[in-house]
Amino acid sequence: MPEYVLVGKKIPRTDSLEKVRGEAKFTADLVLPGMLYGKVLRSPYPQARILSIDTSKAEKLLGVRAVITGKKDAIPYAWGVLPYVRDYQLFPIDKVRYIGQEVAAVAAVDEDIAQEAVDLIHVDYEILPAVFDAEEAIKEGAPLIHDDKPNNICVHVKVNEGDVDRALAEADIILEGSVKGPGESYCQGEPYAVLADFNSSGLDIWCPNAGPHLKARPLSSALGIPTSMVKLHRVYIGGAFGGRSEVSPADVIASLLSRKAGRPVKIVYTREENRNCIRQRVGWVTNLKMGFKKDGTWTVGDFRCIVDGGAHASVGPIAVSVPYMEMDTTYNIKNLRYDGYRIYTNKTPCGMHPEQNRAFHIAVETYLDKAADILSIDPMELRLKNGAYSGLVTATGAKITSCGLVECVQKAAEMAGWKEKRGKLPAGRGIGMACGSEMVGFPMGIRGGSSAFIKFNEDGDATIISGVVDNGQGNESMVMQIAAEELGLSISNVHLVSADTYICPLDQGAYSQAATLISGGAVKEAAADAKRQLFDVAAKMLDTKPEELEASDGNIYVRNNHKKSQSIRRVILNALSNNITIMGRGYRWPNIDNEREWVNNPHGQFATTYTYGCSIAEVEVDQETGKVKVIRMIAAHDCGYPINVMAVEQQIEGAAFGSGICSGLFEKTLWDNGQNINANNLDYWFPTALDVPNIGTIIVSTDDPYGPFGAKEGSLTIRVSMSAAIACAVNNAIGKMVTKVPLTPEVILEIIEKEKSKGDSEVR
Residues near a copy of itself (CB under 8 A) are: 17-18, 21, 23, 25, 29-33, 199-201, 213, 217, 220, 226-229, 445-447, 449, 451, 453, 455, 457-459, 461, 463, 465, 493, 495, 497, 502-506, 573, 576-577, 579-581, 583, 585, 587, 589
CB of 89 to a copy of itself, least distance (A): 24
Distance CA 424, CA 417 (A): 11
With beta carbons less than 8 A apart as the criterion, state whether 440 and 610 touch.
yes
Nearer to a copy of itself, 582 or 747 (CB): 582
Question: What whole-number distance in Å separates Cα of residue 232 and Cα of residue 218?
Answer: 12
Nearest distance, CB of residue 84 and a copy of itself, angstroms: 20
Which of 200, 688 has the CB closer to a copy of itself? 200
3-state secondary structure 338-397: EEEEEEECCCCCECCCCCCCHHHHHHHHHHHHHHHHHHCCCHHHHHHHHECCCCCECCCC
Closest approach of a copy of itself to the CB of residue 39, in Å = 21
- Tell me the C-alpha to C-alpha distance, in Å, between residue 299 and each of 112, 177, 385, 397, 399: 62, 17, 12, 16, 19
Cβ-based nearer residue to a copy of itself, 177 or 202? 202
User: Toward a copy of itself, which CB reaches closer, 22 or 76?
Assistant: 22
- Judged by CB, which is closer to a copy of itself: 199, or 544? 199
Using alpha carbons, select from 334, 223, 596, 651 the residue that is nearest to residue 473: 651
Strand order in the sheet with 549-552: 549-552, 555-558, 561-567
The nearest distance, CB 658 to a copy of itself, in angstroms, is 29
Residue 212: asked if its preceding bond is cis (omega within 30°), the reply is no
Write the burial class of residue 181 (CB in 10 Å: 0-12 exposed, 13-18 middle, 19+ buried): buried
Residue closer to a copy of itself (CB basis): 400 or 454? 454
Given strand 462-466, what is the order of strands in its sheet?
494-498, 462-466, 450-456, 583-588
Q: Which is nearer to a copy of itself, 581 or 601 (CB)?
A: 581
Query: Least separation, in Å, of the C-beta of 502 and a copy of itself?
Result: 6
Instruction: Name which of 225 and 692 has its Cβ closer to a copy of itself.
Output: 225
* Closest approach of a copy of itself to the CB of residue 710, in Å: 21
Residues in CB range of 495: below 8 A, 6 or more apart: 457, 461, 462, 463, 464, 480
Residue closest to 608 by CA, chosen among 625, 595, 598? 595
Write out the DSSP string of 285-301.
Answer: EEEEEEEE-TTS-EEEE
Report the half-sphere exposure of 355 (CA within 13 A, side-chain side).
31
**Rounded Cα distance, 11 and 646, in Å:** 6
Measured between alpha carbons, how far is 361 from 366 in angstroms, rounded to an integer?
8
- 376/579 with CB nearer a copy of itself: 579
